[in-house]
Amino acid sequence: MNKRRSRLDIIADMLTSIQDKGGKIKPTHLMYKANLSHNLLQSYLEELIHKNMVKEMDINNYKYLIITDKGLELVQNLKKMKDFQDTFGI
């Protein structure tokens, strides 16, 4: 059975999904990629936008979510933290 994702795991999955799509993604795609319900996605997005990790932008009449430099830095730090945790077995 898969372990339940923590809040930080979900944030990492969301930001990594945006990064993997070249830094911008449509909200619906993000919902599927990060495996979240609509309500959960909205709640996490509000937090990420409030903390300047992600910003919303209209491109050709479509709403896109763009990862910011701060968001990219967090992804980098979370990857390092995961490696640190795995290496030191904590």
Partner 1 sequence: MYQLGITPDWFQEIDTLFEAISILVTFFIGLTAYKFYKLTTEEKYKWFSVSFLLISLSYFFKILTNFFVYNEEQVRHTLEGYTYVVNYVHEYYYLEIFGTLAFRFLMLVGLFGLYYIITKSQDKKSIPLVLFLLFFTTIFSNVQYFAFHLTAALLLGLIVWQYYELCRQQKKTFTFCNPIVAFSILFVSQIIFSLLFLTPKVYVIAEIVQLFGFLLLLYNYVRLVWK
Q: Where does this chain bind partner 1 (CB under 8 A)?
A: 8, 77-78, 80-81, 83-85, 87-90
Closest CB to partner 1 among 1 and 90?
90
Nearer residue to partner 1 within complex by CB, 19 or 26: 19
Nearest distance from residue 10's CB to partner 1, in Å?
Answer: 13
Least Å from the CB of residue 11 to partner 1: 10
Token reading at 76: 């980098």
* Closer Cβ to partner 1, 44 or 64, answer by number: 44
Smallest distance, Å, CB 50 to partner 1?
17
| One-letter-per-residue 3-state SS of the chain | CCCCCCHHHHHHHHHHHHHHCCCEECHHHHHHHCCCCHHHHHHHHHHHHHCCCEEEEEECCEEEEEECHHHHHHHHHHHHHHHHHHHHCC
